[in-house]
Structure 1
Amino acid sequence: MLRRAAVVVPLSCLLLAGSAAAASAGGSDDPTPYTVTADGLTLPGGRTFVEHDHVNVRYVVDGQSLTAQLHVQAATAQGAFAGRTGFAWTELGLPDTYCVTWVEVSGYNEHFGEGGQRPACTDAPTTAEPVEPIPAAPAGPPAAPAPAPAPSSSGTPAPTPSPTVSGAALVATPGPTSSASVVRSEVLSAGAGSDGALALTGSSLLVPVLGVGTAALAAGVVLRSVHRRGRRARPAHRL
């Protein structure tokens, strides 16, 4: 009896421990201890990927459901994930745009997408719409050149133009001639028979001079005649 009792007690303890572990594991629709975003997956703090870990992913691209897997094995390229705490979805071959709808990570009963989680989607890339170029404004008329500065009053004065000498002023005026030469000129002119007119040796400017000479000559002749008449009329003095 004692042996049976000793065997029953350990078995009951194991059953209780197993039920407690099952209760703490949680269901697939419970919140996930790992983090799922549109960029990738991150394990909870203190946990890293080890060999033989695996991750199963379902995602949608353009309405089509696709899958991707991670199997950490030392003999493959995915063996490099060992010791890491997470990864990006593009490292599993996902394109630039996608929506992750379901995730399963080994070691956890909780599955992303079964507990009411919304899909983790990347933003659709926005393609810039072509913009029509704005026509350049027509060029305006050329700017008027700046006016030249006015000459300063303190500058060099402009040269004064010399007076213009007319042709008439350039004719030299002959000096006055004596009355004898005038009379001789008149006699010579009359003897030449030049229509009874006096031929003048000078220009028209000599007419006043000739008139003055003629008057002086006439006055001398008159005075001489008067003097002679006075001498004839004076009586002889008696001795």
Structure 2
Amino acid sequence: MAGTSLVLIAGCTLAILVLCIDGKEKSLPPRDLKDIVKFIELVKIKNKIESNIRQFTENRTVPEPVPTEHAPTPRPILIISERADSKDCMMFSLEKSNVTAGVVPAKADLWVYVKSKKAGNKTTSNKLTKKKKGRKLKLIVTGEGRKLSTLRVRVSMSKWYKIELPISVVHKVFKTHNKILHLCISCKQCNKKYHVVLLSHHRSGSRTSKSLPNIRKEEWPFLVLHSKPEFISYQK
């Protein structure tokens, strides 16, 4: 009888104990001694698992990241056009571009100057309105016997226009022996008042390229090559 009372007292004492699980205090509901013992064993297992995880995390060595950095962005390469044999055509010597070894151009832009001549002093109101709106032009760039790019613009005054070229054409030219890029440009709706400035338009009589005014060179078409920065790794 005394032993039974002792077991009951011990069970009641354990039932009112306050245990801390996950940082929160929880009171055990009154249960029999078997459930309480099982609960205590589960708490011990939980604490052991947390201890193992903590020990594994502290002893784990994380490899240091390999330091990498971007190389300085290469400056755009500008190539002035040269006179070609055909009319309305031009050529660019990519061999003179001084492209650094290992740097591959990622973008090629052709810049052309569209010139608009000023009208006379006598101008009606309708003509003046049309002049402000400008004239719609269609610029077509061809090369290698096919159309490479097209640009539609409305020209109201003399201005530079950028025509993006397929970069694959430039890559192909770099693999050739002479590295000469031949381009031709045609303009729809162009006339005496609106025209694309090309070297062929500068010929007048027996003038040579050396006798051309220097200001003309500022209007010559030019090619701009853009390159992406390379990745430099310190890991060998």
Q: Could you say whether these structures have the same fold, taking a TM-score greater than 0.5 normalized by the shorter chain as the test?
A: no
Quick check: which has more Rg, 1 or 2? 1
Whose RCO is larger (CA < 8 A, sep 6+)?
Answer: 2
More strand by share: 2
Q: TM-score, normalised by structure 1?
A: 0.21
Q: TM-score, normalised by structure 2?
A: 0.21
